[in-house]
Chains A and B, each alone.
Chain A
Amino acid sequence: MRRPTRLWVALMLMLAPASAGAIPPADPLGSPMWSAHARTLFGDDPVRFDPRVIVSFPMIAENQRAFPVVIDSRGIVGVRRMILLADLNPIPVAIDYRPAHAAPYIATRIKLDQRTPVRGAVQLDSGQWLVSGGWVDAAGGGCSAPPVSRVKGDWADHLGEIRGEVWPMANGQRRVRLSFRHPMDTGLVENIATYHLEALSVIDGAGRLLGDMDIWASVSEDPAITLLVDSAADATLRVAARDTNGRDYRAALTPARQSPMPGGR
């Protein structure tokens, strides 16, 4: 697992803006990869740790292939970008989300390859990054084990299936849940090349972009994503996604399908 980590970091360091200036603050989690990731992801932008970025996950990593994480920074004004990161995963970044007309909230499931910090980093309009998170104990095998559908051999039968639903919320926003059938191959398992969803966007009936994100293979097989978007109660939402083979995925969430029950919080 070491080599892919180093490769990834090396690659990101090449892409990152070269600068000797920014020194990230000391990591309260004491991660060996914090400085490298911080320089790569945040460049010269100011960074600080802030508990208002609420990163929630279960007390146990029962399934290292699908560890649920929520990043909720609704207590912070002006969030324009959210990154979900697991420092010691061979593919550290899972999702890079831009909530254009949506709450700064995202829930999904990721793979864990070993005990690692799991973090949410949110960027404000000012450029400032706010970071929070915690250590997660994991047995490993999440990134380096083949997906269940690869083992069963039925992944291709279900590729492109999308499930989802939309719920009205008390504050006028809408909660959107999406789940895609996709193997999300990491490229770290012998003889299986990298193959994953890489982009997702949600658009309202008027064509307005509500939110979009980049996705990496450290998101679980059959990705499940929950967002809170701004849109009129009766508007149809459109979902567009693309994978690394250039395959397009389309879905429509129509109000007729929505439950009258206000979901969640």
Chain B
Amino acid sequence: MILSRRAMLGGMASLAAAPARAADYVITPVVIGDGIWMVRGADEPIESRNGGAIANIAIIATPAGTVLWECGPSLRYARALRQVAERLTGARIVRVYVSHLHPDHGMGLAAFDPAIVAALPGTIAALAAQGQGYADGMYRLLGDWMRGTDLILPGRAIMTAQEDFGGRALRLLALSGHSSADLALLDERTGMLLGGDLVFNDRAPSTPTAVLPAWRASLDQLQVLPHGALLPGHGPIDPAGIAAIAQTGDWLNWLEGALTQAVRDGLDMVEAGNLPIPDRFAQMAVARYEMQRSVSHLYPGLEASLLPRIDVKSAP
């Protein structure tokens, strides 16, 4: 303890020379229902200035203890979150849900006993296969923010459609499309739907692991599921719970259509990434950024399916 404080004082003294020393995370829970709070992520890319804290997180108070929905990008974040959450509810954390494999949602799980961290089996498998690559990427992007964060796998594979915490029932929906396994959660008491990254709101969806038909099918399921307000994975809460689902579907349909047409029109990836974004998405944060990322994710596959074969056998 003394050592780290001295190290920190040293760091303060040389702040001008070494601006890489990160600030601390600011974690501000906002009540969104009876015994449920959100911690809003920044509607930005993962960057040094936000420490990777870009995903929305929820804290749920139950008679059996505190439940966390997502645990943030780093060990440092998750430790701070745990302190804030337990002070808020006065009860220890008994469950942490990680919605999917992306590091802004779950890299912080190293702060908890893996036995209380639950994720879909597909998420655990994907983390085992790809998690180290994501962890390396986060260290490169965020440096000191990530210090001490190791890749740990969730210890509990979700095999049931519901968990009950002393009478507060949480419905667990096993979906996919944003990634190979996407968890959504319905808090029965408040009707609050936690969409994970299946739903974005006024923040452009990201597609690095997207399977668009599956994603659309998941959105259809969420749309017909009776629920109240919706906390998306990124962006502000949707009070009526429907607009954000519709907007996410609208963006994905537009994106796929626009990129398909771009391949048919003979555009290269740079040109496709500069196509106009419709006015109805003007309020979306990071729209151009995510659109260009999506070109990288989706374009080669579209080319392989849409451009005809033209190879000919050379004359013998």
In A216-265, the 8 Å CB interface with B consists of 222, 224, 226, 239, 248-253, 257, 259, 261, 263-265
A249–B311 touching, CB < 8 Å? yes
- Could you tell me which residues of chain A, from 160 to 178, have a CB within 8 Å of some CB in chain B? 160-165, 167, 175, 177-178
Residues of A within 8 A of B297 (CB): 62-63
A139 within 8 A of B: yes
Name the distance in Å between A260's Cβ and chain B's nearest Cβ.
11
Q: Is the pair A248, B270 in contact by a Cβ cutoff of 8 Å?
A: no
Contact between chains at B293 and A62 (CB < 8 Å) = yes
Is there a chain A Cβ closer than 8 Å to B267's Cβ? yes
In the complex, what distance in Å separates the CA atom of A75 from the CA atom of B268? 19
Contact of B265 among A167, A239, A257 (CB under 8 A): A167
Q: Does A20 contact B (CB under 8 A)?
A: no
Kindly report which residue of chain B lies nearest to residue A251, judged by CB atoms: B310
Asked if A163 and B307 sit within 8 Å, CB to CB, the answer is yes
Encode contact with B along A49-76: 1 for CB under 8 Å, 0 otherwise: 0000000111110110010111000000
**In the bound complex, how far is the Cα of B293 from the Cα of A257, in angstroms?**
30
When the two chains form the complex, which single residue of A57, A60, A167 contacts B293, counting CB atoms closer than 8 Å?
A: A60
Given contacts A62-B293, A70-B271, contact A251 B311 (CB under 8 A): yes
Q: Indicate if the CB atoms of B293 and A259 lie closer than 8 Å.
A: no
* Contact residues, A106-162 vs B (CB, 8 A): 107-109, 139, 160-162
Q: Could you tell me if A107 and B270 are in contact, using CB atoms closer than 8 angstroms?
A: yes
State whether A56 touches B270 (Cβ < 8 A): yes
Q: Are A263 and B265 in contact (CB under 8 A)?
A: yes
CB–CB B264/A261 < 8 A: yes
CB contact list, B279-316 vs A, under 8 A: 288-289, 292-293, 295-297, 300, 303-304, 307-314
Residues of A within 8 A of B137 (CB): 139
User: Which single residue of chain A is at the shortest CB-CB distance from B304?
Assistant: A163
Are A66's CB and B300's CB within 8 A?
Answer: yes
Instruction: Pick the contact of A161: B266, B267, B295, B309 (CB < 8 A).
Output: B309
- Who on chain B is nearest to A165 by CB? B307
- Is B268 a contact partner of A259 (Cβ separation < 8 A)? no
In the bound complex, how far is the Cα of B304 from the Cα of A120, in angstroms? 27
Q: Does A179 contact B (CB under 8 A)?
A: yes
Q: Is there an interface contact between B266 and A66, defined as CB atoms closer than 8 Å?
A: no
Q: Tell me the B residues contacting A by CB distance below 8 Å.
A: 45, 137, 140, 208, 264-271, 273-274, 288-289, 292-293, 295-297, 300, 303-304, 307-314
Instruction: Name 7 A/B residue pairs within 8 A (Cβ), A-sorted.
Output: A58-B296, A60-B45, A62-B296, A68-B296, A161-B309, A250-B313, A253-B310
Closest 7 CB pairs of A and B: A263-B266, A68-B269, A107-B268, A62-B296, A162-B311, A163-B307, A251-B310
